[in-house]
Structure 1
Amino acid sequence: MASRVPHVFVILFSVILLAAIATYVVTPGEYDRAEDANGRMIAVDGSYHPVEADRAGFMDVFQAVYTGMTGAADIIFYIFIVGGSFGILRSTNVIEGAVGSISKRMAGREKLIIPVLMVFFALGGAMLGLAEETIPYITILVPLMLRLGFDSMTGAAVVLLGTSAGFASAFMNPFTVGVAQGIAQIPVFSGMGLRLIMWVVFVGVSIWFVMRYADKVKKDPQSSITYDSDLTRKEKQSPTEQFVGLTGRQKLVLTILLATLVVLAIGVSKLGWYLTEIAGLFLLMGVLMGIVSKLSLNDIAEAFIEGCRTLVMGALVVGVARGILVVLQDGKIMDTILYGLANAVGSLPTSLTAIGMYFVQCLISYIIPSGSGQAAVTMPIMAPLGDLVGVTRQTAVLAFQLGDGISNIFTPTSGYFMAGLALAGVSWVKWAKWLLPLIICHYILGAVFVTIAHLIGYQ
């Protein structure tokens, strides 16, 4: 029987069990805490001292999951409400309409449709945290790319790579940047300037990579990595297939979305909005979208529930991951781990301390596929660790964001990514060989931006 990658809940519960065992092995200790200028309680460097042990019992392992859920309730319900609101957005079919409208407008300018659509999906990844939600558009774009003289690889890349580049370098993704900054206790969506520059660079390099390949396929179809399978697909393609544009109501929905993002930017930058206000804004957005789309109240409710349903695992992962923190804190070994990491990272040259954190996040992303879940596992450790080794919390969040996002369309443990390749008819092996140079480039760019952030004292 073929081996399977353990489910993320299996991995997290195993880590909870290991954390409980660690309370019997690791020397308990604590840092003194003091309030900083921003009102945050941070560990005082040099104050670590041993304390009396408080080892985890048998039932503590199981109770930690519930305690973690209640401790992460604000983040969990934020994810549900925002996800439900996006469910209403998806039910209006506005993204399908926008893709169709772009496709019609770009007729006769085939090559330009690639950067236009990739920017469109990159904005969705950067501003709305779209990932799984973009998979259905592969079924639209693969036939379109074949019709325009490209191949299935190009169609899959426009969606997957466009979304992922935007997601990894996001400037206001509510599910990664928002959650991580919330846990790190820094203003949500702060530090947007550097992230905008990073987004332009990541998306620009990704567009160049795809267009270079697409141009090669356009000139010589047999150079396509998916040439044989595409021949069969083209034979089955309907010559009368149409791509519908935006309706009048969908244009109103798009206007509401843009207005929401403007209000969101003003709220978090000028009014000090946090999770409660942001969740309320997105809920209002969803309701207004449903009303202008002439959905019944029941349909709006059902779309909201469906949106929540797609994020159940991600939201629950946050709570289960918090259970690890509960065991470590209650067992009084959390600060001991911080002390050990601080010594390890602190032994690096000053310019490499942030890179060490980035490297750890890159490795963890291959184990925990959920961005929100990885934030929940790592940021309670990385944020105070940054305080101890001279890395700003904003830089720690950036290291998490890049470490989590870059691997999303490369690792076979990413469910939505593998589903997207299946819809496109592209094997993971072919995709991985084709994408490897760009992934290496993204990791290098990530290291560069984390280093820049560290050197400028990114806030």
Structure 2
Amino acid sequence: MKKLEKNKTKFKLSSLLTILFFITAIIIFLSWIPGLTENGPASIVQVISAPIEGFVLQADRFVFLFIASGFIFVVIKSETFERSLGQLFYKFKNKEIWLIPILVTVFSIFGSFLGFGENVLIFYAFLIPIFLNLKFDVMVGAMIIFFGFTIGVISSTFNTFAIKAAVDAALENGVNDISIIHGIIIRFCSLILLNLTVSIFIILYALKIKKNPKSSTFYNEQSLFLANFPLIDKEPYTKRHKIILIIFFISLMSIILGMIPWDFIFNNNFFLNIHKTLLKEMPYLLTIFNQFGNWSYIEFSAILLISSIIIGVININNNNMDFNNFLQGTKNIINIVFVIALSTGIGLIMSDKYTGMGSVIVASVLKNTENANNSLYIIVNFFTFIFLSFLIPTTSGFISGFFPTIAKLTNEIAPEMVSGTITSFSFANGIASLFSPTSAVLLSTLSISKITYKNFIKSTWKLTISIFIICFLLLILGSGIKTSTFLWF
């Protein structure tokens, strides 16, 4: 049976890399226009040097991404995910429609708490064939993973790639007393509302396809999709798989809990004192670790690397388990690493360290809102951030290019809205990734699922608009209600 035509359906990240190089060149040329920079023009050489500096600046994040990808691939090669999903679907036989909200919630937690996007792409190989063989179309499985993860990123609670990075940028630029838990209530509310919205939309879409398969945009290609995504047979679910799944979730929960500033929340030094005691009594064990609640990429990477080794030992008698699986997993993330490095490079060129173009752009917008109320100020930020997210699609590049100035100006104009600005950034950047042709996760989704960009937008534009409206209203609500707690907005 013939395969789907690659020239019609194949979206490559290499195309995105070309686009980002092109954007870098345009930014450099624009910096030569008088009045667009604070510190003078960029040089042509920075087309090459900026991405390299982006690699250096994001080194700790890249180490984490490589190890996280290797860790997940080790779990995958143990067949734990495959068999766990198989068990789940067979238990929900004839009630499989209710798996949609469960899976959407799981992927949204990945996005919201951990910022995992690139690392969940492997799940397309498991979910799409299952939903195809349940007489749904390819969009059902693709939407569950893509929208599940993306609404998690939009509603980032403790996402270290977005919220923590933005908070760190604010702290480095004169903002005091702010942490990742500021504004967490409104972000958690958005997580709940967007989960409901996405789940209902996909359920209604799936029921429509189930009732009338010809209503699917992909009806004429259904047999070709089945050929590209063969059904995964049900296999025994052993004690070994259960243990690996427990290790997987314990590892992720350790990372989530380790980044929450517990001492700040409860206004004490409980974990700091424990950390000091452990360093004194067991320095040979915990020297490189920061206190619990103040963990960063080093601690995250160490946890996942240790877990990978443990899982490898558990699978020592399994013929398909060896260190090469971990290395193979790290290779899966290389394209994304280049995208992040290039985006960070663009941000660096626009930052105050070089041209200061980002400061000029942000200042020209925000200074016009000095006398505006909080809601208008946040909404102006929101629309500005959506536009800029097309230019710099990754959170790291965006933060390095714009957030130092955003933090400074917001602290001067509306200091009570600094955390709200971070929330509006999270909303805007995530929404842009739902349809932006510079979104690495979207392009990866289309490439893996063999869906064209046109058909994807045609099938999901109503859901994207619904998500935009909910975020817009939540920003107005969050900024409009005055409260004494920093947890609100």
TM-score, scaled relative to structure 2: 0.75
Q: What amino acid does structure 2 have at the position aligned with 1:280? A: I
Q: What amino acid does structure 2 have at the position aligned with 1:242? A: D
Q: What amino acid does structure 2 have at the position aligned with 1:161? A: F
The one of 315, 331, 341 aligned to 2:365: 341
How much does 1:348 deviate?
Answer: 4.3
How much does 1:206 deviate?
Answer: 0.4
- Corresponding position: 1:136 with 2:146: no
Sequence identity percentage: 20
When residues 243 and 368 of structure 1 are mapped into structure 2, their CA distance, relative to the original with a 3 A threshold, is: farther
Helix, strand or coil for the counterpart of 1:15?
helix
Give the match for residue 20 of structure 2: 8
Q: Could you tell me how far apart the structure 1 residues matched to 2:355 and 2:213 are?
A: 62
Q: What amino acid does structure 1 have at the position aligned with 2:399? A: A
Q: What amino acid does structure 2 have at the position aligned with 1:14? A: I
Q: What amino acid does structure 1 have at the position aligned with 2:107? A: F
Deviations 1:253-306 (A, max 9, x none): 433343344444444221466997222332232122222212589548636743
Q: Could you tell me how far apart the structure 2 residues matched to 1:59 and 1:432 are?
A: 36
Q: Could you tell me how far apart the structure 1 residues matched to 2:43 and 2:299 are?
A: 43
Give the match for residue 215 of structure 2: 223
Q: Could you tell me how far apart the structure 2 residues matched to 1:377 and 1:401 are?
A: 15
Give the match for residue 151 of structure 1: 137
Q: Could you tell me how far apart the structure 1 residues matched to 2:227 and 2:27 are?
A: 50
Give the match for residue 165 of structure 1: 151
Give the match for residue 395 of structure 1: 420
How much does 1:322 deviate?
Answer: 4.4
Instruction: Check the 8 A contact 2:155/2:190 in 1, yes or no.
Output: yes
How much does 1:62 deviate?
Answer: 7.2
Give the match for residue 34 of structure 1: none
TM-score, scaled relative to structure 1: 0.80
Q: Could you tell me how far apart the structure 2 residues matched to 1:156 and 1:105 are?
A: 22
How much does 1:61 deviate?
Answer: 5.4
Q: Could you tell me how far apart the structure 2 residues matched to 1:236 and 1:85 are?
A: 27
Instruction: Check the 8 A contact 1:145/1:154 in 2, yes or no.
Output: yes
Deviations 1:205-250 (A, max 9, x none): 0010010111111122222222111145458886x74144765444
How much does 1:359 deviate?
Answer: 0.2
Q: What amino acid does structure 1 have at the position aligned with 2:443? A: M
Q: Could you tell me how far apart the structure 2 residues matched to 1:119 and 1:333 are?
A: 39
RMSD (Å), alpha carbons: 3.5
Give the match for residue 275 of structure 2: none
- Corresponding position: 1:323 with 2:364: no
Which sections of structure 1, spanning at least 5 residues, go unmatched?
29-53
Q: Could you tell me how far apart the structure 1 residues matched to 2:126 and 2:322 are?
A: 29
The one of 453, 464, 488 aligned to 1:439: 464
Summarize the alignment of residues 222-241 of structure 1 with structure 2, pairs less than 5 Å apart: 222-234=214-226, 241=232
The one of 246, 261, 264 aligned to 1:255: 246
Instruction: Check the 8 A contact 2:348/2:354 in 1, yes or no.
Output: no
The one of 84, 102, 121 aligned to 2:107: 121
The one of 176, 188, 203 aligned to 2:195: 203
The number of aligned residues is 426
Give the match for residue 31 of structure 1: none
Q: Could you tell me how far apart the structure 1 residues matched to 2:451 and 2:42 are?
A: 49
Q: What amino acid does structure 1 have at the position aligned with 2:170? A: A
When residues 225 and 357 of structure 1 are mapped into structure 2, their CA distance, relative to the original with a 3 A threshold, is: same
Instruction: Check the 8 A contact 2:97/2:203 in 1, yes or no.
Output: yes
Q: Could you tell me how far apart the structure 2 residues matched to 1:132 and 1:67 are?
A: 21
Helix, strand or coil for the counterpart of 1:242?
coil
The one of 255, 270, 282 aligned to 2:262: 270
Give the match for residue 51 of structure 1: none
Deviations 1:82-118 (A, max 9, x none): 5423422332214444433322322231211222222
Q: Could you tell me how far apart the structure 2 residues matched to 1:292 and 1:27 are?
A: 52
When residues 324 and 222 of structure 1 are mapped into structure 2, their CA distance, relative to the original with a 3 A threshold, is: same
Which sections of structure 2, spanning at least 5 residues, go unmatched?
1-14, 172-177, 265-290, 314-320, 483-487
Deviations 1:323-344 (A, max 9, x none): 2255x45667776655433322
Instruction: Check the 8 A contact 2:28/2:42 in 1, yes or no.
Output: no
